[in-house]
Structure 1
């Protein structure tokens, strides 16, 4: 996202998630064929080792290098990108001047020491900075809440196969199938309708579907399955939109820590989800969907507090964010 121009950034960010939807479908098939959960977990996890060699092949983001006071490395990455794409960069002196001007705008990064206390202070400082200024604080709190909700609803629906369908394996395959159009069309939606309004709409759509699901009689099995799939479609779109939107909202200076801690909040939601579906749902079958629907409703309303980022260049520093006029 950091190296893409705005008009291409949207489609590049959303396109990669089609693989996730296909994998969900495959996981339903794997679960049907491999009933031992330990073996299933092993087979599903081992391909992750293939990611490790990529760590030595992928270059660091040049914007991040500039913000963190490493302009020479950024110039090397720019040169490699230009060579691969067969384009000519401006003269070296001009490039150095541009990079130095960007570096001068950002705060000085103090060297980090290896002591446990210094590492602890650094970790705490990385989180605290997200709450120091008014606009960044609003963004952080809204994004955190949205991630908790989207994680809870997404995984809550994914784990609701037994209560919605007679065949949980088919349910999981169908839920993965519903994610494919979510990822295919999300990029076009946010490109033409904006990030904020699109995200809010799909949160509200998920809320309506989930609340309808809560009060649909169990005898209407087909209706329950259709509503569940519609909810999965809506929350899948919302999940990808919030990932993309949060990457644009946080300035480069704090983007890594902002997005990573936000993902941590989605993990809080995914951790809570099975307790809601299994414990609460076993006593009151309608209650999990009311909880999920209410959370989605609040998240949709809270999204209106965030600024729009469509067509805008990514901000580099917190100071840039606080100086920008909100829409």
Structure 2
């Protein structure tokens, strides 16, 4: 939608962007709420999100009033959480560790291609209503596929539904032509994990108010030392990376008089970033390279580097939180990223009007601090996702014990 369509100034774009970001900020708790609190699961959350998003996208393209368009924009941002992040969490929970990076960054590469195609289609049509309709119609083709997706077996185990998890495992084994361990052994392992998760997973009777749910989730994610370190570090990195990503996007648009041309170029710039970040995660240590690529933003690599960092930290955070709080952790972290994206227009417009050099100093300094923060996070490459908070803390204690023993051995005099 163009501001000129309703006789508005270009600053309307800032309002529209912040409306979307505000809706995303307010809805992160409901994204995990349907799957974790209401006990409906990842699959139903994804199905609801895509159906509602497709319907709303088609309807909003032909709304006659500006007020209705803004309301639809708010709802659209809300539904975005149901689709994107519930799908991502479901994907991370069903894939083995060595396949996660390829799948996650493959999806992101498609996003870069979509940006390019969207900009090209907009350049040809020059009508936002037709563009909105054309962009939403492909959603109709994905709807039948949602009914053949299975529920996450990890989620079923953690939420006390081991028999359903065994059925999913059996279906997957038949699909791939492999044999599972004996039924009694599988049942014992699944029930042990379910019992432990039931003892550690916090119970809620209702979703409650937004403020209450946010406070409750933060308390859950801060209840143990290692989980607290991971949570606070991830929150800060999400805020910074989102602020720099959207800040560079908004600043870069000023170099082109045609927004659609810039969108095409922006999508093309992001494609190498997605491929590059996937290669790094697949073949190198995961925890070090978000730092390295974030620091590249200081060296004028700009959009490509921060896109790499953005995608890597989204993937990385999906491997850090235990399954029982995975949805809460990722959802609240992405909610924090919206604070950064909401601040980006303020920095690029208001601050830039007073001090043209200031936005780049702010973005660069923040990226430097976020890069340093990644050294507080553990390595996840090749590691099995912890099912519970207790598993995470136990694994970290073992890592510290092994590290101290190694230092002790190195400190021994030669010959002793």
Which residue is 1:263 aligned to? 334
Would you say 1:113 and 2:184 are equivalent positions?
A: no
Q: Return the offset for 1:159.
A: 2.0
Q: How does 1:75-224 map to 2 (within 5 A)?
A: 75-108=166-199, 109=201, 112-114=204-206, 117=208, 124-209=215-300
The equivalent residue for 1:276 is 347
Report the Cα distance in structure 2 between the residues aligned to 1:75 and 1:123, rounded to whole angstroms.
Answer: 33
Please say if 1:69 is aligned against 2:160: yes
Q: 1:122 to 1:160 in 2, by over 3 A?
A: closer
CA distance 1:155–1:31, change in 2 (3 Å): farther
Q: 1:307 to 1:192 in 2, by over 3 A?
A: same
Structure 1 gaps of 5+ residues are 210-229
TM-score, normalization by structure 2 = 0.67
Shift of 1:279: 2.4
- Name the SS for the 2:302 alignment partner: helix
What SS does the aligned partner of 2:95 have?
A: coil
Please give the alpha-carbon distance, in whole angstroms, between the structure 1 residues aligned to 2:126 and 2:357.
29
Structure 2: tracts of 5 or more residues without a match: 1-91, 401-416
- Mark the CA change 1:20 to 1:143 in structure 2 (over 3 Å): closer, same or farther: same
Q: What's the C-alpha RMSD, in Å, of the aligned pairs?
A: 2.5
Superposition TM-score, scaled by structure 1 size: 0.84
- In 2: Cα distance, 1:136 partner to 1:99 partner: 24
Q: Quick check: 2:239–2:336 contact (8 Å CA) kept in 1? A: yes
2:378 paired residue number: 307
Q: CA deviation at 1:26?
A: 1.7
Q: CA deviation at 1:231?
A: 1.1
Q: Tell me how far apart the structure 1 counterparts of residues 204 and 220 of structure 2 sit (CA, whole Å).
A: 16
Following superposition, the deviation at residue 147 of structure 1 comes to: 0.9
Q: Distance in 2 between matches of 1:30 and 1:286?
A: 35
For the residue of structure 1 that corresponds to 2:288, the secondary structure is: helix
- Taking the aligned partners of 2:209 and 2:350, their CA distance within structure 1 comes to 42
Equivalent of 2:105 in 14, 18, 27: 14
User: Structure 1 residues 53 and 131, CA, compared in 2 at 3 Å: closer, same or farther?
Assistant: farther
CA distance in 2, matches of 1:274, 1:241: 24
Please give the residue correspondences for 1:29-48 in structure 2 after superposition, counting only pairs within 5 Å.
Answer: 29-37=120-128, 40-45=131-136, 47-48=138-139
Whole-Å Cα distance in 1 between the matches of residues 248 and 209 of structure 2? Answer: 42
1:118 is displaced (CA, Å) by: 9.2
- Whether contact under 8 Å (2:160, 2:198) holds in the other structure is no
Query: Which of the numbers 131, 141, 148 marks the counterpart of 1:57?
Result: 148
User: How many residues are matched?
Assistant: 306
Query: For residues 260-302 of structure 1, what are the alpha-carbon distances to aligned partners after superposition, in whole Å with 9 as ceiling and x for unaligned?
Result: 1111122222222222222222333332222221211111011
C-alpha offsets along residues 163-183 of structure 1, whole Å, 9 cap, x if unaligned?
334544333212211211222
**Per-residue deviation, 1:125:** 3.0
> Does the 8 Å CA contact 1:160/1:277 hold for their aligned counterparts?
yes
Write the deviation string for residues 18-55 of structure 1: whole angstroms up to 9, x where unpaired.
11001111222233234454554454345445555544
Q: How many angstroms apart in 1 are the aligned matches of 2:298 and 2:311?
A: 17
